[in-house]
Amino acid sequence: MISKRIRHIKRYQEIVAVLVKYGFGYIVKDVGLFHLLSLPKQIISDFSTESASSAPLAAKIRAMLEELGPTFIKLGQMLSLRSDIIPEQIADELRKLQDSVTPIDPEQIEKTIVEQLGAPVSEVFASFEKDCFAAASIAQVHRAVLHSGERVIIKVRRPEIEAIINNDIEILWDLASLVEKRYVWARELQLTEIVDEFSNAIRNEIDYFREGRNAEKIRDYFSNNASVIIPKIYWDYSTHQLLTMEQIQGMKFGELINASPDSVNKKLIAERIVRSFLDQALDAGVFHGDPHPGNFFFFPDNKICYIDFGQVGVLSEEMKFHFSSLIIGLMRGDTEMLQRTLFEMSPTPDKLDERQFQMDLTALRDQYYELPFRDVHIGKVVHDVFQLTNKHHIVIPTNYTLLGKALITLEGMINQLDNAISILELAEPYGRKLLIERLDPQRLAKKWSRSLFQALTHSVQLPSLLTKTLKHLNTGKTHVEMELPQLDLLLSKLDRVANRISFSIILLAFSIILCGLIIGETMGAHPFLSQIPVLDIAVTISLIMFFIVLLAIFRSGKF
C-alpha cells in the first residue's frame, strides 16, 4: 500500500484535498492520510465531524465525486443502483451525476483510429464526421460511412482513460481497506468488495470488444423476432478501444410520446418493450442494463430498437430462478419462501437477527399479498426489498440490483406509454415457467447426481485431509491467522504518544541549553566566547532543529 501511495502521490494528494474540502477531513485524519495535505491546509482545515454537517450530505457526496473525475463519477453511478447498501436519499442524488464533458480534439480521435485500425481515417471510411454527436468522460461517438455505403457510428475511448481508471482503482482499494480497518460500518458494507465489484464493472465497460459481444449475443437471441432491432457490430472496424456499429435512425422517446395514435400503437410498443426485456433477463440470461428512454429508437411499424450496450447484466439459471421465486413468494404471501430465497441470493451477516428479519419480511409480504397484479408496481416491490436487505446488512449481488434498477427504469417509461400495463403481470408466466423447469424430473436427477458425486469425492478426500491436518498439529506447523481490525488504529495512537513525548523532550532540552547559555553569558565565565555571538548562534541552530522536528511530527499527522 505504501508503494502505491508513493507511486501515485500527486493523485493521492488531490483526492485527500477534495475529501477535506467537502467536510470529510475527519476520515482523512482517522485513517492516517493527514500527512498528504500541504502544511497550510493541515493548519487551516477543519478535521472535526461537525464540518460535514454544513450542507446536505448527499449533495456534497455528488459534488465531490464530480470534482474527482471519471472514475469516481462511474463509482457514484454504480452506487446509485445500490439502494440495498446506501440510503435512498444518497442513491437519488447520485443518479444526478453528470457524465458529459468537453469533446476532445478531433485530431486525437483520428490518431486513435489510425493506431487501432492501422490505416488513415480516409482509407478506412468513405466519410467521417470530425464533430462528435455525443461525448462522455470515457468515450465519445462519431458518425461515419463505410466504403460499402453502410452508415455507422464509432465509439472511441478517450486517450489515457484506461491508465487514469487503473490508478484511481488502486487508490480506491487502498482507501477502502484503510476505512474498513477504522470503521465498523465500513466492514459491514464490505467496502473493499464493493471496490472489487466496481473495478470489474468499469473495466468491462471500457472494453469495447466485450460490449460488442454482449450486443451480438442479444442480437442473435432476437434474430427471429422482427419486432426487435439490435444494431449490427462491424468487427473488422472494432477493437478493445473502438467500437463500430450500425447506425439506426428512428423516433426518439419524446417523439413517440407526442406521436398521433394513428401513426403508432403505443400500447403494443409498451408490451414489446416489456416482453423483449423479460425475454433477455429471464430466458436468455443476458439483458440490457440501462433501458432508459435515450437508449431506444421507435418506428412507425411499432418496432423497437435497443442501443448502447455498455451496461449489460448476466443471470445464471440459479439467479433467474431466485429472482422469479422472490416475486412469486411476495404474490403468494409465502414468508418462508421469501426468506429462503433471500438467504440463497446472498450470504447473510453473522449478526443477523433472524426473528426481526422474519417479522419485517412478513410485514413486507402483507403489503402485496392478495393484491391483483395490476395494482402492484414492480419498482415499488424492488425498492422495498432493497430497503429491507439494507436494514439487515444483507448485500445483494450486483446483477440482481442491476436487474432491479433496470425494471424500475423500464416501469417509469412504460407508464408514460400506457399506465394500464403491469410488468409484474407480464412477468408472472416467466416465473411459473422457471418454477416448472426447476421441478423437471430430469433436471432434479442431474442436480442430485452432481451433489452425490461431490459428496463421494469429498468423502474419498476426507481421510487424507484428516491425516495431513493431524500431522501438522503433531509437528507444530499449524498456523493461526488473527484479524485485528483496530491494530492500525492502536499503532497510530502509539505513534502520536511517542511523537508528543519526543516533542516534550526536545522542548525541555532546548530550554536547558538556552538557560545554560544565558547563565554563561551573564557570569562572563569564558572571555573567549564573549568575542563570538554564541547565544545568537545557539538560539538560531536550536530553533532550526526544533522547527525541523516539529514539522516532521506535524506532517506525519500523528501528533
Q: What is the pLDDT of residues 208-225, one digit of tens each?
A: 999 999 999 999 999 999
Q: What do you get for the CA distance between the two ends of the chain, in Å?
A: 22
pLDDT-derived band at 344 (thresholds 50, 70, 90) equals: confident
- Name the residue with higher pLDDT: 529 or 309: 309
pLDDT-derived band at 45 (thresholds 50, 70, 90) equals: low
d(CA 477, CA 391): 43
CB 502 within 8 A of CB 549: yes
State residue 347's pLDDT score.
77
Overall average pLDDT of the 26-50 stretch: 70
Q: Which of 162-166, 392-396, 409-413 has the lowest mean pLDDT?
A: 392-396
Q: Taking all residues of the chain, what is their mean pLDDT, rounded to a whole number? A: 80
Overall average pLDDT of the 193-222 stretch: 90
Overall average pLDDT of the 350-361 stretch: 85
pLDDT tens sequence across 84-130: 677 878 888 888 886 667 788 888 999 999 999 999 999 999 999 99
d(CA 231, CA 218): 10
Instruction: Quickly tell me which residue has 544565558 as its cell.
Output: 518
Specify the amino acid at residue 275: R
Enumerate residues 6+ apart whose C-beta is below 8 A from 539. Answer: 514, 517
Enumerate residues 6+ apart whose C-beta is below 8 A from 211. Answer: 205, 243, 309, 310, 312
Active site residue 262: no
State residue 147's pLDDT score.
94
Nearest to 91 by CA among 67, 124, 61: 61
Domain boundaries, the chain: 102-135+138-206, 315-442, 487-555
Q: Which of 59-68, 201-210, 461-470 has the lowest mean pLDDT?
A: 461-470
State residue 137's pLDDT score.
81
Predicted confidence (pLDDT) at residue 231 exceeds the cutoff of 60: yes
pLDDT tens sequence across 65-95: 988 988 898 888 888 877 667 787 888 888 8
d(CA 505, CA 501): 6
State residue 251's pLDDT score.
93
Report which secondary-structure segment, H or E, holds 155: strand 151-157
**pTM assigned to the model:** 0.72
Nearest to 289 by CA among 420, 402, 167: 402
State residue 550's pLDDT score.
64
Predicted confidence (pLDDT) at residue 528 exceeds the cutoff of 60: no
pLDDT tens sequence across 492-514: 566 666 766 766 676 677 667 66
- Name the residue with higher pLDDT: 236 or 497: 236
Phi/psi for 139 (5° steps) reads -150, 170
State residue 9's pLDDT score.
82
Overall average pLDDT of the 351-355 stretch: 83
State residue 299's pLDDT score.
92
Tell me what percent of the residues of the chain surpass a pLDDT of 70: 76
- CA distances to 331, 342, 534, 540, 542 from 537, rounded to whole Å, are 87, 75, 5, 5, 8
Count of Cβ atoms closer than 10 Å to residue 417 Cβ: 21
The DSSP result for 325-379, as a single string, is HHHHHHHHT-HHHHHHHHHHHSPPPTT--HHHHHHHHHHHHHHHTT--GGG--HH
Question: In a 3-state reduction of DSSP, which class is residue 139?
Answer: strand
d(CA 19, CA 513): 43
Strands 151-157 and 228-229: unpaired
State residue 219's pLDDT score.
94
Enumerate residues 6+ apart whose C-beta is below 8 A from 357. Answer: 339, 392
CB 272 within 8 A of CB 412: no
Instruction: Quickly tell me which residue has 402483507 as its cell.
Output: 366
Overall average pLDDT of the 470-485 stretch: 62
Q: Give the burial string for 259-278 (b: 16+ CB within 10 Å, else e).
A: eeeeebbbeebbbbbbbbbb
d(CA 362, CA 522): 88
d(CA 200, CA 173): 13
Tell me what percent of the residues of the chain surpass a pLDDT of 90: 22
Phi/psi for 300 (5° steps) reads -60, -25
pLDDT tens sequence across 287-342: 998 888 889 999 989 999 999 888 888 888 888 888 878 877 777 778 888 888 88
Q: Which three cell numbers stand for residue 480?
A: 493461526
Overall average pLDDT of the 275-291 stretch: 90
- Name the residue with higher pLDDT: 526 or 188: 188
Q: SS in 3 state form for 18-85? A: HHHHCCCHHHHHHCCCHHHCCHHHHHHCCCCHHHHHCCCHHHHHHHHHHHHCHHHHHHHHHHCCCCCC
pLDDT tens sequence across 418-443: 888 888 788 878 777 777 776 667 66
Predicted confidence (pLDDT) at residue 455 exceeds the cutoff of 70: no
Overall average pLDDT of the 377-403 stretch: 81
- Name the residue with higher pLDDT: 433 or 147: 147
Predicted confidence (pLDDT) at residue 524 exceeds the cutoff of 70: no
d(CA 498, CA 514): 24
Size (the chain), residues = 559
Q: Which of the residues 84, 168, 174, 290 is marked catalytic?
A: 290
pLDDT-derived band at 241 (thresholds 50, 70, 90) equals: very high
Nearest to 276 by CA among 302, 255, 300, 240: 302
State residue 256's pLDDT score.
92
Nearest to 232 by CA among 243, 242, 240: 243
Predicted confidence (pLDDT) at residue 467 exceeds the cutoff of 80: no
- CA distances to 309, 383, 505, 548 from 541, rounded to whole Å, are 67, 67, 17, 11
- Name the residue with higher pLDDT: 472 or 236: 236
Phi/psi for 267 (5° steps) reads -65, -45
